[in-house]
Amino acid sequence: MTDTTALESLSIGRPDPLPIPDGANDEVRAIVEGIYGDGIIARKGAFSRQWTVDMAEDIYRAFHEALARPRGAVGRGRRRYYVEIHPEQLRGFVDLVDHPWVRQVCEAILGSDYQIVELGFDIPFPGATDQPWHRDFRMPEATKTEKRLTSLAFNLTAIDTVEEMGPFEIAPGTQFDLSPEFDHEMFPPKSMWSRYEGLAQRKYPKMGDISARSALTIHHGTKNVSESPRPVLVLGVDAPGAGNAEHHDMAVTRAYYDALPERVQQHLVCPIADELTPITQKHDIEGLMMGEA
């Protein structure tokens, strides 16, 4: 077994000083310290419960539509699915991306020219098993060489989370872990899991809560032994040049785009289409697909 000191030495360390914007107020400073520190922050009660009920309805509608076509949904483990959707499939899309806290977090971490690149959801159903510890994609070169974080994942639960539902578990401070032993630079080997198990924190968000995290922070989903699915909306945002948009296929129609507030338009980098085409999922995470239902 790898000893704890060796495991901790795998981290490349946070930048010093932290990249806090000039003239930042206390809230912005706390955002940067949180994302570069634990790797995850949250805002409780950002949305109403009714807004979240509408979000859940849109998620389930999109999920059933996705199941009806080839590769409309992809497995993320046994009884777990991921579906990417178009903004027009979510009634509250503008409320979400134009929320003051969401805008503030994006600007503080990614800069004023941040790019909205992904909208989708994960659903672990009853019977979902533990995922392996992982990050969502390889560590970008900007993080390796400059210790700069170039993407954010926002998550919103569609249900009040309890222990039996298989809550999200994260190992704070591990967004800068780097080892040649990581499979695809994403999956630490089991010999290193003691590091993440020792740091692990389970999250129990309620309807209306929103979190923001570095997708590089090591995390996993846990067993759902309840009788309820646990849908979670995902919003992915990049700094310019981060490159994650090429892995996603969301689009908007011209009429929808033209009706958006300008401050939302300027952050959308997806195509503007005459007609929306159902998305064929291509954001596979191979190491999570084993044992899919």
Task: Give the model confidence (pLDDT) of 181-192 as tens digits.
Answer: 999 999 999 999
CATH of domain 29-283: 2.60.120.620
> Which positions of the chain have pLDDT values less than 70?
1-9, 282-293
Residue 140, preceding peptide bond in cis (omega within 30° of 0): no
Q: Within the chain, what is the greatest distance between any pair of CA atoms?
A: 58
pLDDT for 75 equals 86
Instruction: Cite the DSSP H helix spans in the chain.
Output: 4-8, 26-36, 49-67, 93-97, 100-110, 141-146, 193-199, 254-259, 262-265
CA dist 109 and 103 (Å) reads 10
pLDDT for 6 equals 52
pLDDT for 34 equals 98
The answer to pTM > 0.85 is: yes
pLDDT for 292 equals 39
CA dist 72 and 130 (Å) reads 23
Domain ranges, ordered by start, for the chain: 29-283
Express each pLDDT in 107-118 by its tens digit: 999 999 999 999
Half-sphere exposure of 61 (CA within 13 A, CB side): 12
pLDDT for 288 equals 54
Strands of 210-213's sheet, edge to edge?
A: 40-43, 210-213, 151-157, 232-238, 115-124, 80-84, 74-75
3-state secondary structure of 58: helix
pLDDT for 78 equals 87
User: Which residue is it, tokens 């990050």?
Assistant: 135
User: Which residue is it, tokens 């805002």?
Assistant: 43
